[in-house]
Amino acid sequence: MSTSGKLILLRHTESTDNARGLWSGTRNVSLTDKGRLDAEKFGRLLRDFNFDVIYVSQLRRSTQTLKHFLKTYGKTRSKIKKSGAFDERDYGKLAGKDKWLVRAQVGVRAWIDIRRGWDTPIPNGETLKDTYERTVPWYREVVVPQLLAGKNILIVGHGNSGRALRKYLERINDVAIRRIEMDFDQARIYEVNEFGYATDYKILRIKTRKTLRY
């Protein structure tokens, strides 16, 4: 028997920065044509779910993902709310820079630390730990009570805010989180307990061409 409503976690689809291999962070970039089509694929994929509330980050690539998702999802009763708690990690001085050029400059190990490490600082930016510390309290205070009341919740966010929430949901340790990605082709569907930890989850995928440069 289900112990909660369903939590569906979705990353925004391909942005112009993803296609170019640039760090976005809080840059307010738009989706590519591929990103818009993939968002519509997710709308069709998740039609069987009735979402009571949809949360979306404040950044354009997420709101555009939701806009195109809703075109094919076809249901209009969901409450839609924006939340800055689920905005992308701030990449500080690296925002707008080519990830692969930075890798050549700093070396692979340091580059992985910057991209995927738990507490690797970036000048004028956030660590993943910083992102976790704004994302997870919001999730526990706002989202978990609704899930426990049986509501289905969709969150449309980003790679690192999604990784931060997955760290909590799936109880991933500080080392293992370095290997965790939020892929563009998947929706993650969770049931949770009274603490908001995942008790069960599954993954649904769309068929899409791989984003080569993200």
CA end-to-end span of the chain: 39
Residue of 105, 42, 29, 35 lying closest to 70 (CA atoms): 42
Q: Which domain holds residue 157?
A: 7-205
What's the token pair of residue 144?
Answer: 């978990």
Banded pLDDT at 209 (limits 50, 70, 90): confident
Give the pLDDT confidence of 62-97 residue by residue, as tens digits: 999 999 999 999 988 899 999 999 999 999 999 999
| Catalytic residue status for 68 | no
Give domain status of residue 213, yes or no. Answer: no
Which residue type occupies 197? Y
Dihedrals phi, psi of 2, to nearest 5 degrees: -65, 135
Is there a domain that residue 210 lies in? Answer: no
Task: Check which CATH number belongs to the domain holding 122 and give it.
Answer: 3.40.50.1240
Residue 155 lies in a domain: yes
What's the mean pLDDT when you consider all of the chain? 95
Q: Name which of 6, 29, 3, 5 is nearest 18 in CA terms.
A: 29
Q: Taking each helix axis as running N to C, give the angle between helix 33-45 and helix 60-73, from 0 to 180 degrees, rounded to the nearest 10.
A: 50
Residue 200 lies in a domain: yes
Determine, yes or no, domain membership for 1: no
pLDDT category at 212 given cuts 50, 70, 90 is low
- Residues 14-25 as b/e (b if ≥16 CB within 10 A, e otherwise) read bbebbbebbbbb
Q: Which of 14, 40, 68, 88 is catalytic?
A: 88
Structure tokens at 93: 């001085």
Q: How many domains does the chain have?
A: 1
Q: Is residue 211 part of a domain?
A: no
Residue 1 has pLDDT above 50, yes or no: no
Give the whole-angstrom CA distance, residue 16 versus residue 2. Answer: 39
Tell me, yes or no, if 12 is annotated catalytic. Answer: yes
DSSP 139: I
pLDDT of residue 214: 66
* 2 within some domain: no
User: Percent of the chain scored above 70 by pLDDT?
Assistant: 97
The encoded tokens of residue 70 equal 């809703």
User: For residues 170-196, b (16+ Cβ closer than 10 Å) or e, as one string?
Assistant: eebeeeebbebebbbbbbbbbbbeeeb
212 within domain boundaries? no
Catalytic residue among 12, 14, 40, 126: 12
User: What is the pTM (predicted TM-score) of this model?
Assistant: 0.95
